[in-house]
Amino acid sequence: MAELLKGMEVANGMKQRLIDKNNELIAKGVVPCLAIVRVGGRPDDLAYERGALKRFEGLGIRVKVAEIPESATQEAFEREFSEINGDPSVHGILLFRPLPKSLDEEPVKKLIDPEKDVDCMCAANIAKVFMGDDSGYAPCTPQAVVELLKHYEIPLAGAQIALIGRSMVVGKPLAMLLLKENATVTLCHSKTVNLPEVCQRADIVVAAAGSAKMVTKDFVRPGAVVIDVGINDDGAGGICGDVAFDEAEAACGAITPVPGGVGSVTTSVLAMNTLKAAERALLRPGGRPEG
């Protein structure tokens, strides 16, 4: 039976470090604060928001939620976003995307202060991920995969990793983060020929395709590690991953569940990035409060 790689265990492992860092910053006069910007009330945004609020509350980190009506004009949306962006008490900003069709997210990608861009939406932070420069912020989900692999002490240096999905949200940045850990990454996509065979050669298979249960037992060799990033509607009111869990579990060495895997780590990474942003604010000229 495969080892179950539970996200909550990783989040719990990160918890005390995050609490200590938050307290350290508060003692220095900075109260770390994340602003969540939500347009409308999409159920998946609300679910993520509830999870983030709970996680941040458990860590004692402040969160402000800005709810912008779905009917907002582009101008009103950008004005409100700019206000949050300019608020010195806010250190990190998470904007739920995609935005409603009536709004364009491109202008805010240019507008957001790179120092507050804790989920890596602006070009400057994306470039840093690709350059292997960790002075910016890696996107939360790809970083959560790395945190999970490290927590379970799964060797990355020299490992053959087949990564399914090449989006800018998950696949490409994750490939760069894994490369930085000295893994050999094969980035697969919908045009990859003989995908099961490519995956079968890998020590680690990461599925980030958004295609329910597409990774079957034929994709994994005995002992392989399977990381499922996918979140899909299971057609029965619940969610499922990109991996056909039961058959993959029987064939592999270790596997993440969905729910309860990678998704449970992302809000801890968001907290980690928020604290990093607050610390960087403190180090900037004029960032240290008087007294």
**Under the rule (CB under 6 A), what is the footprint of ligand NDP?**
141, 164-167, 169-171, 188-192, 195, 208-211, 214, 229-232, 262-263, 266
Spatial distance between the Cα atoms of 179 and 159, rounded to a whole number of angstroms: 10
Look up residue 238 and give its two tokens: 């619940």
> At its nearest, how many Å lie between ligand NDP and the CB of residue 274?
16
> At its nearest, how many Å lie between ligand NDP and the CB of residue 92?
17
Q: Which is nearer to ligand NDP, 273 or 281 (CB)?
A: 273
Q: Which is nearer to ligand NDP, 40 or 260 (CB)?
A: 260
Residue whose token pair is 């990461």: 206
Q: Which is nearer to ligand NDP, 18 or 207 (CB)?
A: 207
Q: Which is nearer to ligand NDP, 208 or 248 (CB)?
A: 208
- Tally DSSP H helices, then E strands, for the chain: 10, 11
Look up residue 112 and give its two tokens: 């957001």
Number of Cβ within 10 Å of residue 176's Cβ equals 19
List the one residue out of 169, 215, 174 whose CA is nearest residue 192: 215
> At its nearest, how many Å lie between ligand NDP and the CB of residue 246?
19
> At its nearest, how many Å lie between ligand NDP and the CB of residue 147?
12
Spatial distance between the Cα atoms of 69 and 73, rounded to a whole number of angstroms: 9
Q: Which is nearer to ligand NDP, 154 or 198 (CB)?
A: 198
Spatial distance between the Cα atoms of 10 and 134, rounded to a whole number of angstroms: 21
**Residue 159: helix, strand or coil by DSSP?**
coil
> At its nearest, how many Å lie between ligand NDP and the CB of residue 268?
11
